[in-house]
Amino acid sequence: GAVVSQHPSWVICKSGTSVKIECRSLDFQATTMFWYRQFPKQSLMLMATSNEGSKATYEQGVEKDKFLINHASLTLSTLTVTSAHPEDSSFYICSASGRGFTGELFFGEGSRLTVL
């Protein structure tokens, strides 16, 4: 199957700082990438959808100025959590699909963010 790499796998930062998470498709061109947030023992909540070369579409209730998403190339999307606060601590997961895909998504390994 297609491989999606996510980095970093975990990060600890101080309140008020910004953190960038990268999501890369290693062996296919990801025309669409999705960013999810997951709290412990809960389901995935879609935050935003990004298409290469265009602005991300955010889900209702997700602050676009706080969670900056960039999808500048067909293999890389980034999520930047700006001015992070302890309530932003969570597990962030990206997924990707490409041309010719039949509906399944390929997920990164996730990034655990802890804001002190």
Partner 1 sequence: SQQGEEDPQALSIQEGENATMNCSYKTSINNLQWYRQNSGRGLVHLILIRSNEREKHSGRLRVTLDTSKKSSSLLITASRAADTASYFCATDRTGGGNKLTFGTGTQLKVEL
Torsion of CA 57, 46, 75, 85, to 10 degrees: 90
CB of 28 to partner 1, least distance (A): 14
Closer residue to partner 1 (CB): 35 or 88: 35
> Where along the sequence are the contacts to partner 1 (CB under 8 A)?
1, 4, 6, 32, 34, 36, 41-46, 49, 91, 93, 95, 97, 102-110, 112
Tokens of 65: 């100025």
Closer residue to partner 1 (CB): 74 or 105: 105
Closer residue to partner 1 (CB): 77 or 108: 108
Closer residue to partner 1 (CB): 96 or 115: 96
